[in-house]
Structure 1
Amino acid sequence: MNNRISLFDPIVSNDSQILILGSIPGNKSLEQQQYYANPRNCFWKLIFELFNENFTTDYRERVSLLKRYHIALWDIIDSCERSSSLDKDIKNENYNFSILNFLEEHPTIKVIFCNGKKSFKLLNKIFPENSNISIISLPSTSSAHAVPYDNKKREWSVIKDYIK
């Protein structure tokens, strides 16, 4: 297996207050060069519902919504080998150490929400313990994570508490 993939550039604005951190883009996202492009992943549906916005599949509008609500989006894995879109198939990963500089460059970010256990586990391996940035693990929005949508939405709603 030598199917090495890499992360996308972050979505961020100068006034981002939170960072949502995934693992690395799935196959559909890589094909379309868009975060969470697989329609079975509920990320976008969830974000739009949390902020009572009308859902759209237009990627520019999706990115605009994140920026409007001061949300940055990125991944914890810089590159890896993976035979499918599943996190369990990730091998030989290189961490996204640039995240530490990124947070220094965006001091308005005070909390990181990890989209799933993989990003949470990997972030905790490289993140300084004395940081003033909170790290919160949320259930994965992937359809492979078999938790009812309403449960995911309930847990993800905590995001609104961190946006001013």
Structure 2
Amino acid sequence: MHARGFPPIADAHARILILGSLPGQVSLRQRQYYAQPHNAFWRIMGALFGAGPELPYPERTQRLLGHGIALWDVCAAAQRPGSLDAAIVHASVVPNDLAAFLASHPHIALIGFNGGKAAELYRHLVLPGLPQTLRAIPCATLPSTSPAHAAMPFEEKRARWAAALRA
């Protein structure tokens, strides 16, 4: 299946960009970032920024924006059967234009990757094409909030996200 991602959720004041890999099947159907109910992303955002899953999606995204957080994915499109990052067909990946995004959002001071796959895709497909000034933006690989990454307990994921995003 060829999946197409979403536009970024961002405003001119964004200081932190959180990058996933590519929306999963539930997210694609609902047209919402991290819509899979077992994904811990919105629970973590609730604990850190009051943007929890009990709120309507538009309110959650507004709360993130209010805290200087932008959301996007490394992949604009890719072939992926199912929702697992490991199933992304690397040769099919079309990366988002992160160079243009970062250039137009000059306050981004941290790029946080939601999991290792997003970090890997960024390193291989985006970083080599970035100008030196944008390559200097600090990056943090955070524990994946995906239910597939169940080996790490929620509280540890939350603590690691909190340490990275509040630093």
Q: TM-score, normalised by structure 1?
A: 0.91
> Which among 64, 67, 70 is matched to residue 69 of structure 1?
67
Cα distance per residue 1:65-113 (max 9 Å; x no partner): 1101010000001211111110111113324240111000000101100
In the alignment, residue 76 of structure 1 is paired with which amino acid? Answer: V
In the alignment, residue 141 of structure 1 is paired with which amino acid? Answer: T
2:24 maps to what in 1? 26
Q: Which structure shows the higher helix fraction?
A: 2
1:159 maps to what in 2? 165
> Which among 5, 8, 26 is matched to residue 10 of structure 1?
8
- 1:149 offset after TM fit, Å? 0.4
Distance 1:95 1:50 in 2: 32
Is 1:113 equivalent to 2:73 in the alignment?
A: no
After TM superposition, the runs of 4+ consecutive aligned structure 1 residues lying more than 3 A away are 52-55
1:139 maps to what in 2? 143
Q: Identity across aligned pairs (percent)?
A: 38
In the alignment, residue 155 of structure 1 is paired with which amino acid? Answer: R
Distance 1:54 1:111 in 2: 22
Distance 2:50 2:60 in 1: 13
Say if 1:110 and 1:133, in contact at 8 Å, map to a contact too: yes
Q: Which moved more, 1:101-110 or 1:46-55?
A: 46-55
Distance 2:33 2:48 in 1: 18
Q: Which moved more, 1:20-29 or 1:50-59?
A: 50-59
Say if 1:110 and 1:132, in contact at 8 Å, map to a contact too: no
Is 1:47 equivalent to 2:52 in the alignment?
A: no
Unaligned runs of 5+ in 2: none
- 1:119 offset after TM fit, Å? 0.5
Kindly tell me the number of residue pairs found equivalent between the two proteins: 159
Unaligned runs of 5+ in 1: none
Say if 1:77 and 1:93, in contact at 8 Å, map to a contact too: no
